[in-house]
Structure 1
Amino acid sequence: MAVRWLLWLQGLALVWGQFIATTPPAPARACSELSRSSCEECLQNVSCLWCYTNKTCVDYPVRSVLPPASLCSLSRARWGSCWMNFEALIIAVAVVAGLLLVSAAACCSYCCYCRRCAKSSSPDEDEERLARKREERRLQALQRKRERRVKHDEIRKKYGLLQDSDNPYSRFENE
């Protein structure tokens, strides 16, 4: 019985090993070998750069982000696709990055504005604040009215025009 299990496990390991094993990829052709071909064949290898000036396929200079002008001018260099040069690629990437930054900044400022508005006051708080201000203005107006009445009464008293408080409807008497 144990021998059967061992044989079964050994067979399972063999099948699993064949399932997991992968064949190594075919070695990629060197870019310099593709110089005698077309742009499309050159750019099938991701590490290659096609230069239309001298119709050569060269290794992409990975140490620098952009290929140096001594290798090929940006307007004549192709990488990734034959129909787009490096100048157009740089401009397109810059425009997309700029739009993303501007839209992110606009979204952030809008969110901050909305959060500030929501946090600063709610409709009930606004109504309470307005009612408090209205009441303060009314009290100030009443205070000014009392002060004016006191001043006017003093002037009337000075000139003898103060009416009798018992009978406010009595006529003034000439003395």
Structure 2
Amino acid sequence: MKLREFVCFCLLLIAFLWAEGFAQTTASSCAAKSNTTCEECLSNVSCLWCNTDQRCVDYPVQSVLPPASVCRLAEARWGKCWVNFQTLIITLSVLALVILIAVVVCCLCCCKCENIGRSRKVDEREARQADLRRVRNEERREQMKSRHDEIRKKYGLMKDNSYSRFENS
């Protein structure tokens, strides 16, 4: 397990150092693409195009969103020239909210279905137990009846057919 963690750490370190070196080499290329087209600027993913003054700047990775001192959100372009940051943020927020609601609804539905399945199992188990109790009660009732009949027979209290009284008269 320690070897696996060490290998992961080394790979992350190499990736970080490579990205740091890549960021340093692209710093000058973003500024060099100012006063060109948006497509040329955005061909490098570490560049940000500001529509107001037609300038290509390095994407400020220290902050998630570019500050207003670099470029206004409505005028900033990154990735595609036709998508501004403001629209991108609103769209991604709505999309994230829809996904979050869908996940919550799915979780609730799964929990409800699981509880329904559980209640069916509980109902089936209770029905089986009720049947067993009924069968045991019937067996006990039959045993008690046979025991009572034996006692009646022993003491001569056995009742004959209820119609026998009418036959003797």
Query: TM-score with structure 1 length normalisation?
Result: 0.55
Give the structure 2 partner of residue 109 of structure 1.
108
Amino acid corresponding to residue 104 of structure 2 in structure 1: A
Give the structure 2 partner of residue 124 of structure 1.
124
CA distance in 1, matches of 2:32, 2:71: 18
Deviation at 1:126, TM superposition (A): 6.7
CA distance in 1, matches of 2:105, 2:59: 38
Give the structure 1 partner of residue 43 of structure 2.
44
Alignment of 1:1-175 (within 5 A): 28=26, 30-122=29-121, 124-125=124-125
CA distance in 2, matches of 1:34, 1:100: 37
Moved over 4 A (4+): 125-131
Amino acid corresponding to residue 107 of structure 1 in structure 2: C
> 5+ residue gaps in structure 1?
1-24, 132-175
CA distance in 1, matches of 2:129, 2:86: 59
CA distance in 2, matches of 1:48, 1:84: 14
Deviations 1:95-147 (A, max 9, x none): 1111111010000000000111111233634756999xxxxxxxxxxxxxxxx
Q: Aligned Cα RMSD in Å?
A: 2.2
Which of 1 and 2 has greater Rg? Answer: 1
Query: TM-score with structure 2 length normalisation?
Result: 0.57
Q: Which deviates more from structure 2 when the two are superposed, residues 46-55 or residues 118-127?
A: 118-127
Give the share of equivalent positions with the same residue, in percent.
Answer: 47
Secondary structure at the residue paired with 1:93? Answer: helix
Amino acid corresponding to residue 113 of structure 1 in structure 2: K
Secondary structure at the residue paired with 1:37? Answer: coil
C-alpha spacing 1:46/1:107, structure 2 compared with 1 (3 Å): same
C-alpha spacing 1:91/1:71, structure 2 compared with 1 (3 Å): same
CA distance in 2, matches of 1:49, 1:120: 57
Deviations 1:48-102 (A, max 9, x none): 0000111100000000000000111000000000000001110111111111110
C-alpha spacing 1:104/1:130, structure 2 compared with 1 (3 Å): farther
Identify, as 1 or 2, the structure richer in helix.
2
CA distance in 2, matches of 1:129, 1:58: 76
CA distance in 1, matches of 2:120, 2:61: 56
Secondary structure at the residue paired with 2:49? Answer: strand
CA distance in 1, matches of 2:129, 2:91: 52
CA distance in 1, matches of 2:84, 2:65: 12
